[in-house]
Amino acid sequence: MAEVLVFHHGHGLTAGVREFAERLRRAGHTVHVPDLYEGRVFDTLEEGSGYAEKAGFGTIVERGVAAAEKLPGELVYAGVSLGVLPAQKLAQTRPGARGALLLEACVPVAEFGGAWPGDVPVQIHGMDADPFFAGEGDLDAARALVEQAADAELFLYPGDRHLFTDSGLPSYDERAAEQVFGRVLDFLGRVE
């Protein structure tokens, strides 16, 4: 089974993120879920994003990198929205990465030093009309990554919700989230 490091989104380490991690554990994977917000959870994405901005996005990424340093290098890095920043950075730059799962966000590969590593498979998920994913350049970055990487998949789901994979938020879309989860399990089965 795979060992996975999951980074939470802008609300913080919510019950929905914890549930996602627990479902991966029940499927037999070893899962780590660091708290990049040091215990803070926000009711709105605006409040959470404000905290991340005030702390500094670089600080949030470095907290993720520090969490990874305590673990073996052979990890699958998973991130949801904001959590994609440390997940993508680690997948691109930390030796031994087994794969990357980028949920509801993707940044240009150049952000973390250029080319995507040829031996690191990646799977990207987002809604086709999500104003953040589709409207702010993440979808374009995802398509570029898929063109560049040797083993990459992009899955688009109909809808305009952001954070549709978090079962504890009003934006949750059960049908789409279950499709994501099934595809994530398939991915982890291939990279373990």
- Section 179-192 average pLDDT: 96
Number of Cβ within 10 Å of residue 110's Cβ equals: 10
Q: Which residues does 60 contact at the CB level (< 8 Å), separation at least 6?
A: 36, 52, 82, 85, 86
Percentage of the chain beyond pLDDT 90 is 97
Instruction: Measure the CA–CA gap between 188 and 192, rounded to whole angstroms.
Output: 6
pLDDT at residue 192 greater than cutoff 90 = no
- Percent of the chain scoring above 70 in pLDDT: 100
- Residue 143 Cα distances to 53, 82, 109, angstroms: 27, 19, 11
* Domain residue ranges of the chain, discontinuous segments joined by +: 3-191
The hierarchical CATH code for the domain 3-191 is: 3.40.50.1820
pLDDT band (50, 70, 90) for residue 180: very high
Residue scoring higher pLDDT (77 or 114): 77
Backbone angles phi, psi at 46, to 5 degrees: -60, -45
Residue 176 reports pLDDT greater than 90: yes
pLDDT digits (tens, 9 = 90+) for 140-173: 999 999 999 999 999 999 999 999 999 999 999 9
Please provide residue 3's backbone torsions phi and psi, each rounded to the nearest 5 degrees. Answer: -110, 125
Instruction: Report the distance separating Cα 26 and Cα 95, nearest Å.
Output: 27
Average pLDDT, the chain: 96
Residues 90-129: tens digit of each pLDDT:
999 999 999 999 999 999 999 998 789 989 999 999 999 9
pLDDT at 7: 98
